[in-house]
Structure 1
Amino acid sequence: MHGYADNKEALLKRLRRAEGQVAGIARMVENDDYCIDILTQVSAATKALEAVALSLLGDHLSHCVAEATAQGGPVAEEKIREANAAIARLVRS
């Protein structure tokens, strides 16, 4: 079972909202809307996806990484490496 299982419905709701925002951005481009208005919507969609990512990361840390750390050894080291890599990807994006 994945760490986000308890938040799955909330995550899906956020993702559907972000999907709608992206579709709206595409319509704005098709309609030749003002650049700044489109950029504002891109920023909002980006923030929505970042919120999903942070929620997933928190769930991963409190579930998968916590369980692996309790086991210790190479499994724990690998989960910590994965978490560090995920955090680095989020910070770079």
Structure 2
Amino acid sequence: MELEMAAEDLKSVLNRLRRAQGQLSGIIRMLEDGRDCEDVITQLSAVSKALDRAGFAIIATGLQSCMADGDVDAADRDAMKLRLEKLFLSLA
């Protein structure tokens, strides 16, 4: 299954991932500088949420694409649905 995203959706997901990447770099610096544990955990939580949101957006797009594809037979659609469900649950 190939992921096809609208340009606006792709831009949003990429922005979230880049933001998370920056936050993660900041956390590494915080640890190297011996920053307060509470500050580090707060930033870890923010990175985790950003990654979860990006993952959910990708899965939602995949699910929408799979369900809209009229050329796929019922068995293939069910298999795709199960794979996407498994991916979704891995983020939960």
- Do both share a fold (TM > 0.5)? yes
| TM-score, length of structure 1 as denominator length | 0.85
How far apart are residue 21 of structure 1 and its match?
0.1
SS of the residue aligned with 2:3? coil
SS of the residue aligned with 2:4? coil
Map 1:48-87 to 2 at 5 A. Answer: 48-67=50-69, 71-87=72-88
- Count of aligned pairs: 90
Q: Please, what is the CA RMSD of the aligned residues?
A: 1.7
| TM-score, length of structure 2 as denominator length | 0.86
Post-superposition Cα deviations, 1:10-41, rounded to whole Å, max 9, x if no partner, equal 21111111000000000000000000110000
The percentage of aligned residue pairs carrying the same residue is 30
Stretches of structure 2 lacking an aligned partner (at least 5 in a row): none
Q: Which has the higher helix share?
A: 1
